[in-house]
Amino acid sequence: MERRGFFKMAAAAGFAGATAQSGAQVLPSPQPPVIERSNLNQPGRGKVFALITPHLDDGPIFAGGTVAKLLNEGYTGYFIRVSNDEKDSYNLTLGETVLANEKDAARFVEVAGLKKRYDLQYRNHGLDDISRMEIRVRLIFLFRLLKVDTILSYDPWGHYEENPDHYVTAQAVEAACWMSADHLDFPEQFEVGVKPHSVSEKYYFARGPQLVNRVVDIAPTIKQKAAYIASCKTMIGNMVRSENDSLAARGLRVPAFAGNSDAAIDAYIQAAFVERDKQIGAKYGLEYAEEFHYIGPDHSLDEYVKAHAERI
């Protein structure tokens, strides 16, 4: 995600600076969202999640606190980066930008304690020119290979998303989650030892309005989240320096954002992202929070099975 895009969507969502109006991002929901809090009983032990985003900074910015929570609760985590992030730097060439963001992606995986990263390497800002089927098949193979239980990604039903990389990734992820369980979808994959495997939990985040039914309390993980965002140094550095240029054009400067130092990046993360999560949390009586459309396992037959099932 680029700086211009973040602030444009942030303003539309009502959490940018003095114009902040909490509640603007959430579509009317029939029931209040479930508040998910940290669980010290390690419910994620033995489970696997995949964070799937076109760009390196999408996950840390919109779901970093939840990623940290799941890892703290015992999950094994993977990061699938769909694009090559060739368009997001301040003054590097395209080739230098690919390499800088690749190194940052490795840093994010290390800082977060994720098990591995898979780069699909499609060209940044061009995913709408790629076959969704091709992306879907690659994801289905990875879901089967890694036995992914839970995914975090962009909401395929989020509104007013202007970046094709975001909505194409979201659509491919959503379809792959259930088709990976079908024995007639790409059966040749089974010959290398993988089996049909469905993804049972989805955490969808969005830049614009979405139907929010899950709010994750990220107060215990906000510092981990800030460190994840800081690992995206090239992208956040681009945001800081572009913001400085924008301020200078208006005859202004924010001393804390001056230069391209780690301190400037940290100050920016606090002002732009930690403050946003604080405003989201305030809507739900929490210190810091992230919002999602959550889709969980299907329990519709549980009662019937309980009443009628026999031991075999």
Instruction: Return residues touching Zn ion (CB under 5 A).
Output: 1, 55, 58
- Tell me the Ramachandran region of residue 40: left when phi exceeds 0, alpha when psi lies from -120 to 50, beta otherwise: alpha
- The β-bridge partners of 293 are 204
Least spacing, CB of residue 80 vs Zn ion, in Å? 14
Give residue 308's identity as a one-letter amino acid code.
Answer: H
Query: CA torsion angle for 79, 290, 243, 163 (degrees, to 10)?
Result: 60
Nearest residue (CB) to Zn ion, 169 versus 180: 169
Q: Give the residue among 43, 51, 119 at the shortest CA–CA distance from 81.
A: 119
Q: Is 200 exposed, middle or buried (0-12, 13-18, 19+ CB in 10 A)?
A: middle
Structure token digits, residue 200? 């049972």
Least spacing, CB of residue 162 vs Zn ion, in Å? 11
- The β-bridge partners of 255 are none
Nearest residue (CB) to Zn ion, 9 versus 265: 9
Least spacing, CB of residue 166 vs Zn ion, in Å? 6
d(CA 88, CA 240) in angstroms, rounded, equals 12
Nearest residue (CB) to Zn ion, 1 versus 120: 1
Nearest residue (CB) to Zn ion, 58 versus 155: 58
Q: What is the Cα gyration radius of the chain?
A: 20
Least spacing, CB of residue 207 vs Zn ion, in Å? 8
- The β-bridge partners of 49 are 77, 150
Alpha helices in the chain (DSSP H): 3-13, 58-72, 94-112, 132-146, 164-179, 222-231, 233-249, 262-269, 275-282, 302-308
Nearest residue (CB) to Zn ion, 143 versus 167: 167
Nearest residue (CB) to Zn ion, 144 versus 276: 276
Structure token digits, residue 252? 């202004």
Least spacing, CB of residue 263 vs Zn ion, in Å? 25
d(CA 66, CA 292) in angstroms, rounded, equals 10
Least spacing, CB of residue 77 vs Zn ion, in Å? 19
Nearest residue (CB) to Zn ion, 55 versus 241: 55
Taking CB positions, which residue lies at the least distance from Zn ion? Answer: 1
Least spacing, CB of residue 224 vs Zn ion, in Å? 20
Nearest residue (CB) to Zn ion, 180 versus 231: 231
Least spacing, CB of residue 170 vs Zn ion, in Å? 11
Angle between helices 262-269 and 222-231 (to 10 degrees): 130
